[in-house]
Structure 1
């Protein structure tokens, strides 16, 4: 109804997604000299969710900014690099990052409730 060609947009999005996936795959193989479909990209979904949550996007949806996601991804990468630099086991690495993710989610849930109680008492 707005004059946007929906079929063209769908095809364009899939073509762009395919091109970017191919480019990312090429860069991955160029960096690692190999690729295993069973293990490549393992646990990247946790990185994506953690970057979004650390960036301040509400888990209930609708609130947050793209710049926050960028800073969330950078901070999560810095946390990962610090843990690797301390030469911790990879299982401990994932556990620490998971605990950080849980803490951020708890803060997002409890924070508005605390703010509401404080403003109610004033």
Structure 2
């Protein structure tokens, strides 16, 4: 039961927050920390997000998304993958403008998952 609720919360978080704004550096909630842990465990599984020891470049993120899309030979889930690709492209730094498309539109950069995690860790240790 709790896992299905965590799955629904993770899906809503991905659709309404992550795809539009990137990862938040801080989330305030009134739920049990174990529940939030389940939510973000499901969220990382949904996106095939792996947390390496060092930060990935946005090109690697795009390539990972393309590989995930290539796993389905009939491309039946392309509409789900397209939004993740759009986020990856919007977060990539343009060589000419030296800014992300997201920054040019909104005036601020969306945060990647890793950046949000590292900022959170810095606050808790420093």
The TM-score normalised by the length of structure 2 is 0.25
Whose relative contact order is higher, 1 or 2, with alpha carbons under 8 Å and at least 6 apart? 2
The TM-score normalised by the length of structure 1 is 0.25
> Rg: which structure is higher?
1
